[in-house]
């Protein structure tokens, strides 16, 4: 059995949808992550910026950095919402 990594078409952007496209190269995903981050920065008066990797998996942080912990939690739910709804 051959493993297939390409779905027909993204239901969000209408572009061909290999896994890499969905998580790194999709303009719709990038726009969504930017909007979530901008909203978070406005609400918490921060100026955090993220790489594609950090947008997907969060940022490693110390226990006492509440803003990063909040952002990681926000990203977890945002990614869940984006992928499953």
Contact criterion met (CB below 8 Å) for 71 and 48: yes
Backbone angles phi, psi at 18, to 5 degrees: -70, 160
Give which of 52, 50, 7, 12 is closest to 28, Cα–Cα: 12
Are the C-beta atoms of residues 10 and 26 closer than 8 Å to each other? Answer: yes
pLDDT-based confidence at residue 1 (cuts at 50, 70, 90): very low
Task: Summarize pLDDT for 56-84 with one digit per residue, the tens.
Answer: 889 998 888 999 999 999 999 998 888 77
pLDDT tens digit sequence for 12-63: 566 666 666 667 777 888 889 999 999 999 999 999 999 988 998 899 988 8
């Amino acid at each position: 059995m051959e493993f297939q990594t390409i779905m027909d078409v993204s239901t969000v952007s209408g572009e061909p949808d290999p896994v890499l496209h969905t998580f790194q190269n999709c303009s719709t995903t990038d726009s969504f992550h930017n909007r979530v981050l901008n909203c978070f920065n406005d609400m918490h008066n921060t100026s955090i910026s993220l790489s594609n990797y950090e947008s997907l998996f969060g940022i490693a942080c110390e226990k006492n950095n509440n803003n990063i912990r909040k952002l990681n939690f926000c990203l977890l739910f945002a990614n869940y919402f984006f992928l499953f709804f």
